[in-house]
Amino acid sequence: MTGYGKTSVVFQGKKITAEIKSLNSKALDLTTRVAPMYREKEMEIRSMIATALERGKVEFSLWTEKDEAGGASPINGAVAEGYRKQIRHICGQYGMPEPTDWWTVLLRMPDVLTRDEAVAELTEEEWLVVRSAVESCVEQLMDFRRQEGHALQRKFEEKLDNIAALLQSIEPFEKSRTEKIRQRIVEGLESIKSVEYDRNRLEQEMIYYIEKLDINEEKQRLTNHLRYFRETMENGHGQGKKLGFIAQEMGREINTTGSKSNEAEMQNIVVRMKDELEQIKEQVLNVM
């Protein structure tokens, strides 16, 4: 969900700049900073952004700059004089020294420097220009997100392929361990000379024990989750939360497989599968 966009336009000698950037977030967290002249349109701007982006921690700024011919902001003399009188009165009342540099003090006071955009009226013609700039910078951010999305999809495909290959590599160890378990139990019993046992009952117990360690269901469910993850990626935007849920289910099956794996080789493979899945979970947070 990360992205960036910036557009600048010029209207009647005034440079208007719209800038937007976004980071990952489970919901839309939108912050706007809009020049005073365009405050009346702030809700409309927020609605435009919210409709386009849906999710993310988004910061949007809209400001203006005068060209060099525009001159400096005018000084409001009446306001400055009012501040000067108040300061002199307070200094006299409380026995404090008056400022030695009046200009430095007065120019820092609110509204002494009059800004045109604070008093000018926004025309429909200018708003159309501003709206176009906002739409342009949002589209730039969307293009950025699309490029990131394509790169993420390729990354996910790679990780899913790796998990599928690792799951397939478990099979030889899975087949051989059944006979190893049976052999260890029989050898253990035969090593105790004074113990007699019912071979039929032993076979039943071994079948039960081996079934408890069977991972065929986990393998099938994990394979289904891998396929469902791929299908969900192809279904368009707005699938980030669903992909996160699927990744959680994949983790459950991998963890269960690990708990049933009593072979060192199988456990090593499970660890590698967890590593691949963890990378998927980290990147799912970037998906809309």
Digit-coded pLDDT (tens) for 231-240: 998 886 668 8
Whether 115 and 79 have beta carbons less than 8 Å apart is answered as: no
Which CATH number fits the domain 3-71+121-144, given the four candidates 3.30.230, 2.60.120, 3.40.640, 2.40.30? Answer: 3.30.230
Give the number of other CB atoms < 10 A from CB of residue 13. Answer: 10
- Mean pLDDT of all residues belonging to the chain: 85
146 band by pLDDT with thresholds 50, 70 and 90: confident
Q: Residue 161: which pLDDT band, with cuts at 50, 70 and 90?
A: very high
Contact assessment for residue 39 and residue 120, using Cβ atoms and an 8 Å cutoff: no
**Segments making up each domain of the chain, as ranges:** 3-71+121-144, 77-106, 146-284
pLDDT of residue 259: 85
Mean pLDDT, range 10-32, rounded to an integer: 90
Question: What is the mean predicted confidence (pLDDT) over 40-44?
Answer: 94
Going by the DSSP 8-state scheme, the letter that residue 99 receives in this structure is P
Give CA–CA dist 108/1, Å, rounded.
40
The pair of three-digit structure tokens given for residue 14, joined into one six-digit string: 């005034």
Q: Are strands 28-34 and 56-66 parallel, antiparallel or unpaired?
A: parallel
Using the predicted structure, report yes or no on whether residue 14 has a pLDDT greater than 80: yes
Sign of CA pseudo-dihedral 212, 215, 216, 220? positive
CA distance 272 to 26: 28
Q: What is the mean pLDDT of residues 68-96?
A: 82
Average pLDDT, stretch 110-135? 81
Q: Is 215 exposed, middle or buried (0-12, 13-18, 19+ CB in 10 A)?
A: buried
The contacts of residue 183 (CB under 8 Å, 6+ apart) are none
**Cα-only R_g, the chain:** 35
- Ramachandran angles phi, psi of 45, nearest 5°: -65, -45
Angle, to 10 degrees, between the axis of helix 264-284 and the axis of helix 171-190? Answer: 140
Taking residues 185-206, report their average pLDDT: 69
Separation of alpha carbons 97 and 274, rounded Å = 72
pLDDT band at residue 216 using 50, 70 and 90 as cut-offs = confident
For helices 264-284 and 124-169, what crossing angle results, to 10°?
A: 180
Alpha helix stretches (DSSP H) within the chain: 42-53, 77-94, 102-106, 116-119, 124-169, 171-190, 199-212, 216-233, 240-260, 264-284
Instruction: Please give the model's pTM, rounded to 2 decimal places.
Output: 0.63
Instruction: Count Cβ atoms below 10 Å from residue 53 Cβ, excluding itself.
Output: 21
Q: What are phi and psi of 123, to 5 degrees?
A: -90, 160
Residue keyed to tokens 């420097």: 113
Q: Give per-residue burial for 239-256: e unless 16+ CB within 10 Å, then b.
A: bbebbeebbeebbebbeb
- Amino acid 54 reads E
Q: Read off the pLDDT band of 47 (50, 70, 90).
A: very high
Cα three-residue angle 9-55-283, rounded to 5 degrees: 110
Q: What is the pLDDT of residues 236-279, one digit of tens each?
A: 666 888 899 999 999 999 999 988 877 788 899 999 999 999 99
